[in-house]
Chain A
């Protein structure tokens, strides 16, 4: 204390530079005590310095909450700075000291009446930030006054305060009628008040998706447009985003809004520009295309978008993600601006990759030479990821612009000559795609490719090369030698390569049967006898039987003509694109996912759609015709992968667990039922995994082995396909099987919906094996046979571990029991609810789809018992915000009985503590995907209501786990 005072004196004497860093000097013991004394000092200056020290400690995360009463005492002051500092402190700590915070209320209420509007505004603003219920009650009256204050500065601050209050207590805001007052403020005379009212209403509306808070009509639109010109840049963003939700009545209104929004394109703030672009892109849909203004508008959109690319890299990134959407919807806007997307060597990698993507989208016959020259340049850069993507891009160009294919192939060959290992491998993968697009055209390059056989060490490249050799075996003299060389290390290859090798050798055998008999026998025996991979074995057996029973049929199947691949695969699905266009500038546009797919807290976001002009339908692309256009795309496009029947009936298929992902924009995607297993969902959940290209089997149903853009990629493609059977035999742990609760069978698929097939079922976990137990009941008049089953990807990767074992046909009115073992290594996609499972069942009549929910305890592992110490540490380690609490009502077990019962479902009690007649059970469970869930179960003797707290690093599962507790305890 003394020391600090001395220091202060010194500073005065020498007039040396005073900074806030001195506030950090008191870190020794008794600091709090010292500060306390200073805060209670009589001298104003000393008080202020002390509060500053407190704030300084607070900003770096030190706990100075103990000083609460002393700091609050400093609040009644005329010194504005001191007041503001105390407010800062209050906002931070009021929550932890609610009783103390009440002391501040009087001052707030008094300040709300102050003559100085700045003080009034400050008081109402600060009060709203104190998230304590007791304070909130006192806030209502002052807030009501401030919303009607004569000073606009106070009104605009009060508008935001309504949003704060709503966040704390939504009901209160509604009851007090603040929402109506807020709506009235949209018509305020001051533009800043209007902008803040809009911002507050938009935020409130996000938690009330269906409320009519922002009821936009031509009058309010006019008010907003007027305010737009006069308010601050941030206010413009709020107003523009709000305008984008409006649906104009006709094209005249659209045009007039567009005209008034266009000047915003010249704003220095890029967020304003992008929000304006959103409004224009949306309202443009309404304009007839033959209108002069439409053309003018298109021209006006290009320069601001280009300008965004000269901003800071972070801004560029967001701009590029949005431009990616815009060029898919309206390629004409930027078709002449290819050059601005050329990559500079010092661009951050995330900018480089986005630019590359857009370059390919803009590539056309007119500019392909330039694009290729650039891509070739990039392929010699340092960054490996970027180089790989550049090489893939050359392949995509070849597929997109037919006239350029030859040049692309020669560019790729040039690159192969560089002998840079990853370039060569990448090039081979894309050349395979080019072969699939232009069969029998570029086979002359095969010889060059074969020279590099040795250097290929990545599975994808090896598989691609093997596919090429198998496909063109008749033209490669030493095809048998080449394939044989791969066969030596068969068991060390990845599954992808093994499957490919098997198919390739079978193809070779069918083409040159005389010399290769030995080879084919070798590979068949390797696949069927020496491998423990069920997929490989299955495929091996199929080939074997085919070859031995009917070689002619084998030829027809294995050497069938393959459909061509097309560039459509990498486009965003049109309906999704339309929705994303309505969300330009938002997080949704950055992730290329609809907001409903990922925004937390936005309960049931409305799906936005582009509305097109009603007046002149013929000249406008309506959403419907838009998607129809794609459905009518050239017949060369691969048929939908969602076609389950095709998959099941095709011999050369990959087994269910590794079904190739469907091309997201493939036609037929919107054909109702197909969607269940189809790409609609995939494209929503797509993440940024590497472009696929692995599945290059010989059958038409085999996936689009063609680099798709990130957004259209399914969530997890590289699901391990082995291990399905391992799981079956994994009886380890041997846990307690007694008392496992098995839910009764429920009807999953009513006979009505499935042409007479009724399926009811349940899920069981026995000795570590998850089984789906079903009763299939034939209520139709004819015999049912040829059953098969597939699951859609789901939250925990559940997949059939083997085929559905129904050996005999089911005659009418007969029912049959079937148990299907499940593995958890299938493809993963988050479902809603989490434990939802979508199933397709096929029989000789049709394919049927249903969804069911499995109890999450099916996924609790037998070794889910945590060490006590680990439990303690983990519990502390998981942040409190991940904790969720639930009530289980009407449960009449004592804690021991509950514990036993739960153990049957692999919920293990680790410790038990009794505090004041209340039993606390600490429990743990572990999910198949390795997620631990920790639980604290409170059981009060004589009270049928249990309280359960769940902590988990993935809090999404909490709800499911709670439901499971409830069912287990009550049954």
Chain B
């Protein structure tokens, strides 16, 4: 199972190590550094590396590498999932996952890691359970603790771990009982230069924020559950009910959690909310090129497209861009060669346009590669797949909770090729 964990920053310094079995020398990370050197970009470091005696399995998140060392045959997905869980937990506890915050809370992180794994076997990875054992630091608590001498480690048995619902602790109490759900959909798409959709799919997620007293039993039904043929659930969801009635029935964890992920595949027709007319070309003669981009609404289900933004990774030879935008601002970062055009709201009456010239390094050959456009956007109050929640009911408790469902559509990995 998982033997050791090293946290490594962007620069390649190991700033935390934890061993669940015998201690493994840091020098094992040298193989990783070698691979990191070779990969140039940190994103491109292969996640599974073989060394003479160990396997190094790593993830790259928030500019940090989480590198685990294993010695025996272990499912790599299990390790990668676990590493992401570690990063999630750190983020959950301290607000973000950064080197300085980890260093500021190093003992808490260490205690957390100790609770998360025992001998390399996952022990407690549910944030609810962990928080019961090790309380997250808050300004108030550290003051109170220092004054009263009390500790921020719980002395109760983490009750959730034993019940058949390990994700929920017992004795939850709130004065305001509320259950909010966000249906968030991301469009992943590749559109080719002629405007044809090469590939499109929707990644959906239902994020829940549930603060309900006692042991509520919730059930959620949809207007059009047939859309959901590819789903993955939080362990709290009763799969049988889903199979038979297409209803989500569950006793929720306390607090924020992901209720389900779904995937509306390319088999179904995926609506593309905007179209892009673009022309980026470089001249054979002379060190310049031209750029002309217009964006217009396509199928927006009657809603406004907001936070529209276009990002273009320019070829290396492009030195500067002299452009005019009819709406929003653009910026060109010379170092990273990234052109960002921040448009904002899309006005269907007056389509935003960005045009002008690009200047190239003199003497450089005409760029061989065509840049791709990455589109960001948001549409409030609609799930682009058409998914709608029809009812949300609560059983098992007597009070009347506040309930609410919000919808949001975003661009995920939305690329337009040129």
The residue on B at minimum CB distance from A87 is: B114
The residue on A at minimum CB distance from B111 is: A84
Query: Is A591 located at the chain interface by the 8 A CB criterion?
Result: yes
Contacts of A11 in B (CB 8 A): 146
The residue on A at minimum CB distance from B151 is: A81
Interface string of B262-282 (1 = CB under 8 A from A): 010111000000000000000
Contacts of B409 in A (CB 8 A): none
Query: Is A628 located at the chain interface by the 8 A CB criterion?
Result: no
Query: Is A19 located at the chain interface by the 8 A CB criterion?
Result: yes
**A381 CA to B52 CA, complexed, in Å:** 35
Is the beta-carbon distance between A955 and B119 smaller than 8 angstroms? no
Contacts of A314 in B (CB 8 A): 47, 58-60, 80
The residue on A at minimum CB distance from B201 is: A340
Is the beta-carbon distance between A345 and B415 smaller than 8 angstroms? yes
Partner of A344, one of B166, B190, B261: B190
Query: Is B381 located at the chain interface by the 8 A CB criterion?
Result: no
Chain A, 799-844, CB within 8 A of any chain B CB? none
Task: Tell me the minimal C-beta distance from A850 to chain B in angstroms.
Answer: 30
**A591 CA to B47 CA, complexed, in Å:** 12
Is the beta-carbon distance between A232 and B76 smaller than 8 angstroms? no
Is the beta-carbon distance between B139 and A345 smaller than 8 angstroms? no
Chain A, 284-343, CB within 8 A of any chain B CB? 303-304, 306-307, 310, 312-315, 317-319, 336-337, 339-340, 342
**A590 CA to B146 CA, complexed, in Å:** 50
Interface string of A1-21 (1 = CB under 8 A from B): 000000010011001011111
Give the interface segment out of B18-26, B296-304, B345-353, B391-399.
B18-26
Query: Is A940 located at the chain interface by the 8 A CB criterion?
Result: no
The residue on B at minimum CB distance from A232 is: B166
Is the beta-carbon distance between A348 and B43 smaller than 8 angstroms? yes
**A88 CA to B61 CA, complexed, in Å:** 27
Contacts of B19 in A (CB 8 A): 92
The residue on A at minimum CB distance from B193 is: A377
Is the beta-carbon distance between A339 and B72 smaller than 8 angstroms? no
Partner of B76, one of A129, A199, A587, A956: A587
Query: Is B98 located at the chain interface by the 8 A CB criterion?
Result: no
Partner of A350, one of B27, B44, B374: B44
**A598 CA to B52 CA, complexed, in Å:** 9
For A, the interface residue count at a CB cutoff of 8 angstroms equals 119
Chain B, 6-50, CB within 8 A of any chain A CB? 14-27, 39, 41, 43-44, 46-48, 50
The residue on A at minimum CB distance from B28 is: A879
Is the beta-carbon distance between B156 and A118 smaller than 8 angstroms? yes
Contacts of A167 in B (CB 8 A): 21
Task: Tell me the minimal C-beta distance from A224 to chain B in angstroms.
Answer: 17
Query: Is A45 located at the chain interface by the 8 A CB criterion?
Result: yes
**A48 CA to B121 CA, complexed, in Å:** 28
Partner of B368, one of A21, A274, A306, A380: A380
Is the beta-carbon distance between B44 and A153 smaller than 8 angstroms? no
Partner of A339, one of B27, B81, B109, B199: B199
Give the interface segment out of A264-272, A514-522, A677-685.
A264-272
Number of A-B contacts (CB under 8 A): 281
Is the beta-carbon distance between B157 and A12 smaller than 8 angstroms? no
Query: Is A595 located at the chain interface by the 8 A CB criterion?
Result: yes
Is the beta-carbon distance between B71 and A601 smaller than 8 angstroms? yes
Query: Is B152 located at the chain interface by the 8 A CB criterion?
Result: yes
Contacts of B265 in A (CB 8 A): 303, 306, 337, 340
Chain A, 560-590, CB within 8 A of any chain B CB? 585-588, 590
Query: Is A234 located at the chain interface by the 8 A CB criterion?
Result: yes
Is the beta-carbon distance between A271 and B75 smaller than 8 angstroms? yes
Contacts of B122 in A (CB 8 A): 232, 234
Query: Is A736 located at the chain interface by the 8 A CB criterion?
Result: no
Is the beta-carbon distance between B146 and A18 smaller than 8 angstroms? yes
Task: Tell me the minimal C-beta distance from B214 to chain A in angstroms.
Answer: 22
Chain B, 121-152, CB within 8 A of any chain A CB? 121-122, 125-126, 137, 139, 142-143, 146-147, 149, 151-152
Contacts of A602 in B (CB 8 A): 72-73
Given contacts A20-B108, A591-B50, contact A81 B153 (CB under 8 A): yes
Q: Which of A314, A879, A880 gathers most chain B CB within 10 Å?
A: A314
Is the beta-carbon distance between A346 and B374 smaller than 8 angstroms? yes
Contacts of B415 in A (CB 8 A): 344-346
Is the beta-carbon distance between A266 and B232 smaller than 8 angstroms? yes
The residue on B at minimum CB distance from A315 is: B80
Contacts of B47 in A (CB 8 A): 313-314, 317-318, 350
Partner of B119, one of A21, A163, A206: A163
Give the interface segment out of B233-241, B323-331, B382-390.
B233-241
Interface string of B145-178 (1 = CB under 8 A from A): 0110101111111100110101000000000000
The residue on A at minimum CB distance from B234 is: A268
Chain B, 229-269, CB within 8 A of any chain A CB? 229-235, 239, 242-243, 258, 260-261, 263, 265-267
Task: Tell me the minimal C-beta distance from B228 to chain A in angstroms.
Answer: 10
Chain B, 399-418, CB within 8 A of any chain A CB? 413, 415, 417
Give the interface segment out of A53-61, A490-498, A718-726, A863-871.
A53-61
Query: Is A731 located at the chain interface by the 8 A CB criterion?
Result: no
The residue on A at minimum CB distance from B263 is: A307
**A596 CA to B53 CA, complexed, in Å:** 14
Query: Is B332 located at the chain interface by the 8 A CB criterion?
Result: no
**A163 CA to B84 CA, complexed, in Å:** 25
Partner of A342, one of B71, B137, B190, B233: B190
The residue on B at minimum CB distance from A419 is: B368
**A77 CA to B41 CA, complexed, in Å:** 49
The residue on B at minimum CB distance from A583 is: B73
Contacts of A599 in B (CB 8 A): 72-73
Contacts of B75 in A (CB 8 A): 237, 241, 271, 274-275, 585-586
Q: Which of A116, A128, A266 gathers most chain B CB within 10 Å?
A: A266
The residue on A at minimum CB distance from B197 is: A339
Query: Is B292 located at the chain interface by the 8 A CB criterion?
Result: no
The residue on A at minimum CB distance from B154 is: A80
Task: Tell me the minimal C-beta distance from B221 to chain A in angstroms.
Answer: 17
Is the beta-carbon distance between B59 and A312 smaller than 8 angstroms? yes
Is the beta-carbon distance between B266 and A263 smaller than 8 angstroms? no
The residue on B at minimum CB distance from A17 is: B139
Contacts of A45 in B (CB 8 A): 146, 149
Contacts of B118 in A (CB 8 A): 125, 157, 160
Contacts of A374 in B (CB 8 A): 198
Chain A, 365-379, CB within 8 A of any chain B CB? 370, 373-374, 377
Contacts of B232 in A (CB 8 A): 266-268, 273, 304, 307
**A241 CA to B77 CA, complexed, in Å:** 13
Query: Is B357 located at the chain interface by the 8 A CB criterion?
Result: no
Is the beta-carbon distance between B73 and A587 smaller than 8 angstroms? yes
Query: Is A212 located at the chain interface by the 8 A CB criterion?
Result: no
Task: Tell me the minimal C-beta distance from A335 to chain B in angstroms.
Answer: 12
Query: Is A470 located at the chain interface by the 8 A CB criterion?
Result: no
Contacts of B153 in A (CB 8 A): 80-81, 84
Contacts of B137 in A (CB 8 A): 18-19
Given contacts A129-B119, A595-B73, contact A118 B230 (CB under 8 A): no
**A347 CA to B136 CA, complexed, in Å:** 35
Query: Is A437 located at the chain interface by the 8 A CB criterion?
Result: no
Is the beta-carbon distance between A268 and B261 smaller than 8 angstroms? yes
Q: List 15 A-B contacts (CB under 8 A).
A: A20-B103, A20-B106, A84-B114, A88-B110, A95-B22, A163-B119, A192-B162, A268-B258, A270-B81, A314-B58, A349-B39, A380-B370, A586-B75, A880-B25, A954-B52
**A→B interface (CB under 8 Å):** 8, 11-12, 15, 17-21, 23-24, 44-45, 48, 52, 55-56, 59-61, 79-82, 84-85, 88, 92, 95, 116-118, 125, 128-129, 131, 151-153, 157, 160-161, 163-164, 167, 190-192, 196, 199-200, 203, 206, 230, 232-234, 237, 241, 263, 266-271, 273-275, 303-304, 306-307, 310, 312-315, 317-319, 336-337, 339-340, 342, 344-346, 348-350, 370, 373-374, 377, 380-382, 418, 420, 585-588, 590-591, 595, 598-602, 879-881, 954-956
Top 4 closest A-B pairs, CB basis? A303-B230, A81-B153, A19-B104, A81-B151
